[in-house]
Structure 1
Amino acid sequence: MPIKGLIFDAYGTLYDVHSVQAKTEELCPGKGDLITQVWRLKQLEYTWLQTSLQDYRDFTYLTQASLEFALRAAGIEPSETITKPLLEKYLNLDPFPEAKEALGALQRRGGLKLAILSNGSTAMLTALVKNSGLDAFLDATISVDGARKFKPHPDCYALVEKTLGLKNDEVIFVSSNSFDVAGAKHFGFKVAWIKRGGAANAPSAPIGPAQMYRLLRGNAEMLGYRQDYTVAALTDLIGLL
């Protein structure tokens, strides 16, 4: 079956979640790296926890809750002076440098539907794609709000067919997040893993927050749900078609 659509994860795949670090360091001097990494790890943990509890609260809520957790873990009491600009930055994350080039090339190829499927809330994603200009390349921006669960629950990936009419074997799902790769592969998509910042060699001590994050989130999972393709950047995707 020919590929008719490329479906992209947003956070960590099209957008650099760690582009909040400079603002975090500005607001919390000396603790920006630590807070940024804990924030992201806790944000992911909260999505899995909420789905396990069968109690849906959207990504806007979880992003703020995880930020407050990270601040308190770093010894900083959350205040609107800190949280408001950091949450605003989440609506203005930096796309990865090759994102527009890659989406433009795929769009010019023709015959492909390009879309996002993300844990982000509808409101967050609408603002993010508009502010970054990526909305010009996308046929749809799909939020897991439609499933009221978070990836990697199968109901989230099922939103692709409901929204775009694409069957599993007509899709390449693209993510840099190894848990998302496992979820999409288990669901039945062809999957391309963008290997961003994975540790090729054993780390050397001392291990800082950013390196710990890469060790946990930058390497393939060991549960057997393996990607079909491994690429280094979004611009490599055109070669898969």
Structure 2
Amino acid sequence: MAITTCVFDAYGTLFDVAAAARQAAAEPDQDALRDKWPELANHWRLKQLQYTWLRAVADAHADFWDVTQDGLDWALEATGLQGDPALRQRLLDLYWELQAYPEVPAMLKALKDGGMQTAILSNGSPPMLEGAVRSAGIGGVLDDILSVESVGVFKPHARVYDLVCDRFGCERSNVLFVSSNGWDAAGASGYGFVTAWVNRAGEPMDRLPWTPAHVLSDLTLIPELAGV
């Protein structure tokens, strides 16, 4: 069936999750962070994801902002930077203003010009996602922002993916789902979406029962995959 709806994960897919640490490290008086920001960013993202999985299987859901702060606290301690409350607050503030990847605005515009329905489907809470979309200036090329908060469980639970067809009235096979997380793309494949894994880092394929239909290095070819 033809693709009618393109849905994107947010963090790491449309928005650069390393941008907060990278930007903070470039600011004055951040000597301690300057050499450690890549390590900090990697720890922060990994713990953020791990905590969503653990909370999902333990039926202990929390707002993604709480999970994001918990992940940062672990990362700060792991890198020896936990003694600077001002740095912690600056990193959290910057997370609300994450930069979009360079190809994102033109890619989304091409989808909308081609008649596609477009949306975000994210673990992020609505205020976090609205802040990122506003900061990136892409609200005009998105039809909706869907958050797991409406179902109370994190991805890759099927109830999260249900939100897409419930919102757009489409079949699963009409959806192109795009994520930078291999496990997310795999889970969406098992659910029945057509999927694209944006593998910017050149990582190995996750060993899961399902695999993405497409593997890309960035988002440039998404309009072509969608058929516009």
TM-score by length of 2: 0.92
Please give the residue correspondences for 1:215-226 in structure 2 after superposition, counting only pairs within 5 Å.
218-226=203-211
1:120 paired to 2:105: no
Match of residue 81 from structure 2: 76
TM-superposition CA deviations, 1:68-127 (whole Å, max 9, x none):
1111111222543112211111111111110001001111111x1100001111110011
In the TM superposition, structure 1's runs of 4+ consecutive aligned residues that sit over 6 Å from their partners are none
Name the aligned partner's letter for residue 171 of structure 2.
K
Q: Which moved more, 1:24-33 or 1:139-148?
A: 24-33
Match of residue 145 from structure 1: 149
- Aligned mates of 2:83, 2:194 — CA distance in 1: 42
- Preserved CA contact (<8 Å) 1:7 1:173: yes
Match of residue 20 from structure 1: 20
Aligned length: 221
1:86 paired to 2:91: yes
- Aligned mates of 1:133, 1:189 — CA distance in 2: 27
TM-superposition CA deviations, 1:7-60 (whole Å, max 9, x none):
001111111111123234354243212111111110000000110110110110
- Aligned mates of 2:78, 2:168 — CA distance in 1: 42
- Preserved CA contact (<8 Å) 2:107 2:220: yes
1:106 paired to 2:111: yes
- Shift in Å, 1:195: 2.0
- Aligned mates of 1:77, 1:10 — CA distance in 2: 27
- Aligned mates of 1:219, 1:149 — CA distance in 2: 27
- Preserved CA contact (<8 Å) 2:99 2:135: no
Please give the residue correspondences for 1:61-72 in structure 2 after superposition, counting only pairs within 5 Å.
61-72=66-77
Secondary structure class of the residue paired with 2:146: strand
- Shift in Å, 1:4: 1.0
Name stretches of at least 5 consecutive residues in structure 2 with no aligned partner: none
- Aligned mates of 1:24, 1:70 — CA distance in 2: 15
TM-score by length of 1: 0.87
- Shift in Å, 1:233: 2.2
TM-superposition CA deviations, 1:126-181 (whole Å, max 9, x none):
11101111111000000110111111111111111222222201101011110101
Secondary structure class of the residue paired with 2:159: helix
- TM-align CA RMSD: 1.4
Name stretches of at least 5 consecutive residues in structure 1 with no aligned partner: 199-217
